[in-house]
Homo-oligomer: A and B are copies of this chain.
Amino acid sequence: MLERLREIISRECELHLAGPIVIGVSGGPDSLCLMDALSRLGHALIVAHFDHKLRPEAEADAREVQRIAENYGFPFELGEADVAAFAKLQALSLEEAGRTLRYRFMFELAEQSGAQAVAVAHTADDQVETVLMHFLRGAGLSGLRGMPLRALPNAWSRAIPLVRPLLSTWRAEVLAYCAEHGLEPVFDSTNQDQAFFRNRLRHELIPILETYNPAVRAGIWRMAQVLSADYAILEKAGDAVWEASVMAVGERFVAFNPAALQAEPSGLQRQIVRRAIALLRPGLRDIDFEATERALEFLSDPERPAQIDLIAGLRLVFEPAYAGPALAGPARIWLAAWEAELPPGEWPQVHQALPLPVPSMIALPGGWQLRAEEIQSIDTIRRQARENVDPFQAWVALDNLTASLEVRARRPGDRFQPLGMGGHALKISDFMINAKLPQRARRAWPLVCAGEAVVWVPGFRLGHPFRLAPDTRQAVHLRLRHVEP
């Protein structure tokens, strides 16, 4: 067994003899066996024990593990936390809360001590139970493939791998090893497992399954191995799709190109969604099927709402293609934390009303500039104004103004009478919707106004009353431009 482990540890777990390894030791047979084997194979260990504060004898257990570690000559580190309180706070199960705190402790320790890896003692039986749990949930490939021998990045670190050298060693072999090498477990981990559900699988369901196939455990274990190779291929296929369909990644958002993503087979769409969720919520253990399906439906549904709640405090936001005449941009679907502000678009925004004297030049956020120039002789620019195709400039008749010009965001009640629509007035919000201005851009889109009157919506239309008429005598040239900030 030691020889087989040596092989697995160096080839599959990629551990070397140079740096220390943080090993999680509960004191049960699995972790004692792993500690002993790693020690015999010449590895330097840092023994991490975590007190969940859930059992009265936990403190005594910790002292016993410490004694054993010191007998090996390994440094001992004790972590502890009020798991029950944390579970309550985070609305997690006791098991999940304990797991989170325990791994956090081990990886912090690994980082502080420059360890090459964190090792845990999951066995082949644990693997089978894990796969079976996922199967009972109706999980996808990422669950059915079970736990990997080596995971990097993992939920806890992008730099320090999590390794499971005992994953192909059965619990019976572990117990035989303990007996052979005189290891005395601090407690019988097989019965004290905090996970009631897992215990039921182990003691009830698996024996029942063995009446259907006596080799069911070996079969499931092997299945996990095969599926894990299949999963690796799918992940590789997903890399290209990620490249092609993800438009932006931030700490709290990922932006997709919905058309690019929709062109892919559903299996790859699911994978990209799962990847994005895992990127924003690395600690999330189960990305449930319903969430992924909801995302796929949101992606393909032309009747989709503007946003939906997805999972774990994340939402999906749809922004249609921006079809404004000058600022065209593709549609986007954002996966983002509810509390996250999506990154500003490339569009012009104004956050307070600013007077716009003539002439003047006003700087707006994000490198936009609004310029107002007096026109000396109206007749010389009539033709130019008539033939203008740039919606970001306009020639405005000042004759009918009742107040001085300013640039500001829309206000409730603002109405607008777009040029060329027969003098019909509509709510500025309806105009913006019709113009397909992205929702986020609307609230602070710069409008050139005079008192109550909306004179010009840059990028879209001039107001009908402010067009150059044959009898116009006074006019101004307005231009909104993006310059490098």
Interface residues, chain A, with chain B CB atoms under 8 Å away? 135-141, 144, 197, 200-201, 205, 208-209, 212-213, 215-216, 218-223, 226-227, 229-234, 236-237, 265-268, 270, 289
Contact = CB atoms under 8 A, between A and B. Distances in A.
Nearest to A264: B233
Contact of A138 (B205, B216, B267): B216
B136 A219 contact: yes
Contacts of A232: 265, 267
B229 A136 contact: no
Q: Which 5 A-B pairs have the closest CB atoms?
A: A138-B219, A229-B267, A138-B223, A230-B267, A233-B267
Contacts of A227: 140-141, 144
Contact of A289 (B141, B213, B226): B226
A233 B237 contact: yes
Contacts of A219: 136-138, 289
B230 A138 contact: no
A266 B216 CA distance: 23
Q: Copies of this chain, how many?
A: 2
Contacts of A144: 144, 223, 227
A136 B209 contact: yes
B234 A138 contact: no
Contacts of A215: 138
Given A200-B212, A208-B208, A212-B205, A229 B137 contact: no
**Mostly helix, strand, loop or mixed at chain A's interface?**
helix
Contacts of A237: 233, 237
A140 to B, nearest CB: 5
A267 B218 CA distance: 19
A220 B136 CA distance: 7
Contact of A229 (B197, B229, B270, B289): B270
A138 B218 contact: yes
Contact of A226 (B137, B209, B270): B270
A140 B223 CA distance: 6
Given A144-B223, A232-B267, 10 more contacts: A136-B212, A136-B213, A138-B223, A141-B227, A200-B212, A205-B212, A226-B270, A226-B289, A229-B265, A233-B265
B267 A226 contact: yes
17 contacts: A135-B220, A137-B219, A138-B215, A138-B216, A138-B221, A139-B223, A144-B144, A200-B212, A205-B209, A222-B289, A223-B289, A226-B270, A229-B266, A230-B267, A233-B267, A233-B268, A234-B234
A209 B204 CA distance: 11
Nearest to A230: B267
A6 B209 CA distance: 38
Contacts of A200: 212
A209 B137 CA distance: 10
Contacts of A212: 136, 197, 200-201, 205
A79 to B, nearest CB: 32
A199 B135 CA distance: 20
Contacts of A226: 140-141, 267, 270, 289
Contacts of A141: 141, 226-227, 230
Given A136-B216, A218-B138, A234 B230 contact: yes
Contacts of A209: 136, 205
